[in-house]
Structure 1
Amino acid sequence: MSFESWAAFTAASAILLVIPGPTILLVVSYALGQGWRTALPMALGVALGDFTAMTLSMLGIGALLAASATIFTLLKIIGTGYLIWLGVKLFRAGGTLKAEPRADAAPAIRMTAHAWLVTALNPKSITFFVAFLPQFLDRHADFLTQMLVFEATFLTLAFANALAYAIVASRARNLMRNPKAIRAVNRTGGTLLVGAGIATLAMRSAN
């Protein structure tokens, strides 16, 4: 695995994580209702959930890679289209973040478990990773090494992103309810996603 592949994966992951999804909505809901104390347990639950979904996805990808190089290549092509579709959908999304404050006081372990369940058991998470990860894998390099590096990178970013959202939501609540701010995040993320998909397609065509 080259440094360029890792850097591209890191950049794309950072873009994707910043985009508000079901997990971030849950993090923001707890933070709006209960403040900064929710940040660490929620971030930990998100990281554990992503670890679960990502590991299951990587194991499936590894099986496909071992079975057929053609199927793996086809998966990468489909994944590129999926990234572009996600970008277009995100760009057209509205400017509201539908996260209602959770006033029910929950212990840290329950918040962590809730974040883990929402992240890990969402079928879209596994589908996303199956479409996303192959774009950066080198089928000629050691698969286990790539799996460990990509998982460690993504989980570090996921933890930091969830922690940041929780802190911002607890301290700058008006920002989380500002349609202009959310619209800007959606449009920027959507544009970058489409760009990442097109760049991936262009690099594949050049090889």
Structure 2
Amino acid sequence: MDSFGIQHYEAFLLASIALNLTPGLDTFYILTRSGREGHTVGMAAALGINAGCIVHTLAAVLGISAILMTSALAFSVLKYLGAAYLAWIGLRMLLSKGSTRQPTQTRGKGLGAAFRQGMLTNVLNPKVALFFLAFLPQFVSMHAAHPQLGLLLLGLSFIGTGLAWSTVLALMGGRINRLLTTRPRFGQGMDRLCGTVLLAFGVKLALQQRS
């Protein structure tokens, strides 16, 4: 660890666990997908979200995320793309006329759609990019021989704790799915609720300011 400049690794892991346990868009999205389509689809969504975290980790290591901090235009473009994508998913859920026997078409079909949407909701959020850029360097000495590798290892450690919690969420959502199969009308109501919340997340993202 010394050659990578990593400092206070135990404190970093504790902070990572606490941050991953904090409810947010990722938590809600995984529960939504697994609740309506089963824990396997929920796991695909979780893998997509964590794949997005890998993108943000690499961006922080390469210094690409710094562009978002210094460029108001780059931040705004990514922010509005992310907000529009969330709003699009939310509106499709709100306006759908899903069957009472199977999940609606609003989220796309199969594992690929869950993975892709999970990844995009994460990658297109500039606040997540800035979080990785600000959080990881606090635990790495830039005077080390290989600080970039230190940042990469911390990012992967954060993703590891996040994936573990995401797996728990997907399994929890699977239990909800079994309930919905016996109460299809409740499932349609859940689609409306989830669509509203995703739309609200999109609006919130659009209103966020670069700090």
Deviation at 1:133, TM superposition (A): 1.4
* Equivalent pair of 2:44/2:115 in contact (CA under 8 Å): yes
- Which of 10, 26, 30 in structure 2 is aligned with 1:27? 30
Deviation at 1:29, TM superposition (A): 1.0
| Residues in 1 aligned to 2:26 and 2:66: alpha-carbon distance in whole angstroms | 28
Deviation at 1:144, TM superposition (A): 2.4
What's the CA shift string for 1:127-168, capped at 9, x where partnerless?
Answer: 111221122111222212202311221121122121111111
| Residues in 1 aligned to 2:151 and 2:123: alpha-carbon distance in whole angstroms | 18
Deviation at 1:62, TM superposition (A): 9.8
Deviation at 1:111, TM superposition (A): 0.6
Q: Report the counterpart of residue 146 of structure 1 in structure 2.
A: 150
How large is the RMSD of aligned CA atoms in angstroms? 2.8
| TM-score under structure 1 length normalisation | 0.58
| Pairing of 1:68-79 with structure 2 (within 5 A) | none
| TM-score under structure 2 length normalisation | 0.57
- Which of 124, 127, 136 in structure 1 is aligned with 2:130? 127
* Equivalent pair of 2:51/2:119 in contact (CA under 8 Å): yes
* Count of residue correspondences: 139
Task: Point out where structure 2 has 5 or more consecutive residues left out of the alignment.
Answer: 68-92, 95-102, 180-211
Paired residue type of 1:41: A
Deviation at 1:56, TM superposition (A): 0.9
Q: Report the counterpart of residue 118 of structure 1 in structure 2.
A: 121
| Residues in 2 aligned to 1:41 and 1:54: alpha-carbon distance in whole angstroms | 20
Paired residue type of 2:150: Q
* Equivalent pair of 2:39/2:174 in contact (CA under 8 Å): yes
What's the CA shift string for 1:7-51, capped at 9, x where partnerless?
Answer: 111111111011111122111111121121223211211111000
* Equivalent pair of 1:61/1:130 in contact (CA under 8 Å): no
Deviation at 1:118, TM superposition (A): 0.6
